[in-house]
Structure 1
Amino acid sequence: MATNIGMMDAAYFVGRSEILTWINATLQLNISRVEEAASGSIQCQMMDMTHPGVVPMHKVNFDARSEYDMIQNYKVLQEVFTKLKLEKHIEVSRLVKGRPLDNLEFLQWLKRYCDSINGGIMNENYNPVERRSKGGKERNPKGFHRVTKSLQANNGSGDGVAINKTAAPKQGKVCEVSSGANSASEIHVLSEKILELKLSVDHLEKERDFYFAKLRDIEILCQIPELEHLPVAAAIKKILYAADAKESALGEAQELVSTSSVDVGATEEESDLVSQD
């Protein structure tokens, strides 16, 4: 079970896009930034889904905007952690400030914990919208999906149908319903494509950061006083600092190393001659 996991754990390499997708899909929300979870209500509901009946949802304020209200949510969360005997410290003072990195790290830990309990499988019997209605001050929680109503309208349900029923012939109503169904299908396909692109971008960002870190390590190594004046270090820097992306600096780097090898060879020959004399 994941409780106090180290900072080098794979959980902390999960990107923002994946975290946001997980929250939105699990709780039927539509948040676009991790800072929107600063109030603590999302964390409380995630624990409610993972451990049904443990979180007193009537105490959770989904409309929390002030730091005071947010702190009350984190108190509820801390009480839940205590009940479950989770030794996880919550940096409330940082989280309520809406700092992206602090909130991301806490959500990364939360995802790892929830996955460790249910194997990453969502509780099919859990109704996040209904459970939010148990919240203390929920009116219209930020990020809540409004897609359902729009799809119902597109599918011909609600007041729109009643109007069309009297104002238009049956054939027109059938066409409208068919058009709404097609729109819903298109929205679903486009949503999946967007999600796929976000995951792809997130993967590329992590790969970029991985290789950049390696190049930075090489740069630091070449700047060590014992190495920075060596021809090999100069050749490596020539490649690292090459400004033209179209032309490779490998040739110049090899020339630096070759020239230094020739100079070293000549110096050794001179030393041999001196010793013979």
Structure 2
Amino acid sequence: MATNIGIMDSAYFVGRNEILTWINDRLHLSLSRVEEAASGAVQCQMLDVTFPGVVPMHKVNFDAKNEYDMIQNYKVLQDVFNKLKITKPLEINRLVRGRPLDNLEFLQWLKRFCDSINGGIMNESYNPVERRSKGGKERSVKGSNKMPNNNHHPPPNPRQLKPAKSAQVQVLSKELADLKISFDLLERERDFYFSKLRDVELLCQTPQVEDLPIVVAVKKILYATDANESALEDAQEYLDQSLGVEAEDEGNGEQEEEEEEEEKTQS
């Protein structure tokens, strides 16, 4: 199982549109942004598709809007990870905030993992809507959101609400525009650094230099799979050991040359 996928794996070059198409096709949803999957319910059902019967869908809340309900979904997901012996760390505190980049990277990993199990082939016998309605907490009963009116207050005058609503719409529109700008900047920054890392990887794969100690040390950092620990220490240790051995070999060679020169002089 591809539970640990390095940052340079092709999985992390899959675009958000492809990720959204993958989710919507398999789960019969209509997500338009990756952060709409921040509740963890989509991830649970994707594993339900891949491993039928492993996910307790009756515990998955597709209506989760607040952080508490989202965390409960991720607890279900963590239990499934434990059952399947998946070692991928779940950074719940970052995912529930709905940050696009964090959620995109996790969904990229999830797609890569699920494809490694089923080869990217859809389970035609799986009914995602039925599984959500019968198994999960998908509460969409008509009229369930109606609240009793015990106070019998007269409805507000629509003309009085228009100025307030207009101001609120303007504020929300500005916030949305700012968020879109921030998202575009983050995406461009991410693509920039990925391209740099890819250039470094290709350079390290050059046959003439790929076995040099410094190149091997760099590849140790590039291909590290543990997201919680830095690989710099291991790479530095390897480099120090390699250079120490080389320095010792050079020293021995110089000593042998000096001894040979001394023997020639005496003879």
TM-score by length of 2: 0.53
Q: 1:133 to 1:87 in 2, by over 3 A?
A: same
Query: Which ranges in structure 2 are unaligned for 5 or more consecutive residues?
Result: 142-186, 200-267
CA deviations on 1:107-129 (whole Å, 9 max, x unpaired) are 00000000000000011110000
Which aligned pairs between 1:61-76 and structure 2 lie closer than 5 A?
A: 61-76=61-76
Separation of aligned partners in 2, 1:120 and 1:102: 23
Assess if the C-alpha contact under 8 Å between 1:24 and 1:31 holds in 2: yes
Shift in Å, 1:7: 0.7
Match of 1:114 in 2: 114
Match of 1:124 in 2: 124
Secondary structure at the counterpart of residue 125 of structure 1: coil
Secondary structure at the counterpart of residue 134 of structure 2: coil
Match of 2:48 in 1: 48
Shift in Å, 1:213: 4.7
Match of 1:158 in 2: none
Match of 1:29 in 2: 29
Match of 2:57 in 1: 57
Root-mean-square deviation over aligned CA pairs? 2.3
Q: 1:32 to 1:76 in 2, by over 3 A?
A: same
Match of 2:138 in 1: 138
Amino acid at match of 2:45: Q
Amino acid at match of 2:60: V
Q: 1:212 to 1:91 in 2, by over 3 A?
A: closer
Q: 1:98 to 1:210 in 2, by over 3 A?
A: closer
Q: 1:136 to 1:26 in 2, by over 3 A?
A: closer
Separation of aligned partners in 2, 1:212 and 1:74: 28
Q: 1:12 to 1:63 in 2, by over 3 A?
A: same
Matched, 1:79 2:79: yes
Shift in Å, 1:137: 2.4
Assess if the C-alpha contact under 8 Å between 1:61 and 1:135 holds in 2: no
Shift in Å, 1:14: 0.2
CA deviations on 1:51-74 (whole Å, 9 max, x unpaired) are 000000000001000100000000
Match of 2:7 in 1: 7
Query: Which ranges in structure 1 are unaligned for 5 or more consecutive residues?
Result: 142-204, 218-277
Q: Paired residues, what number?
A: 150
Separation of aligned partners in 2, 1:83 and 1:108: 21
TM-score by length of 1: 0.51
Which aligned pairs between 1:191-230 and structure 2 lie closer than 5 A?
A: 213=195
Q: 1:66 to 1:13 in 2, by over 3 A?
A: same
Shift in Å, 1:211: 12
Secondary structure at the counterpart of residue 12 of structure 2: helix
Shift in Å, 1:105: 0.4
Q: Percent of aligned pairs with the same residue?
A: 80
Q: Which has the higher contact order (CA 8 A, sep 6+)?
A: 2
Shift in Å, 1:138: 0.7
Assess if the C-alpha contact under 8 Å between 1:70 and 1:96 holds in 2: yes
Shift in Å, 1:135: 3.9
Amino acid at match of 1:111: K
CA deviations on 1:122-161 (whole Å, 9 max, x unpaired) are 11110000000134421249xxxxxxxxxxxxxxxxxxxx
Separation of aligned partners in 2, 1:134 and 1:90: 27
Q: 1:105 to 1:213 in 2, by over 3 A?
A: closer
Separation of aligned partners in 1, 2:116 and 2:42: 18
Amino acid at match of 1:23: I
Q: 1:210 to 1:43 in 2, by over 3 A?
A: same
Shift in Å, 1:100: 0.3
Secondary structure at the counterpart of residue 43 of structure 2: helix
Assess if the C-alpha contact under 8 Å between 1:59 and 1:76 holds in 2: yes
Separation of aligned partners in 2, 1:140 and 1:103: 25
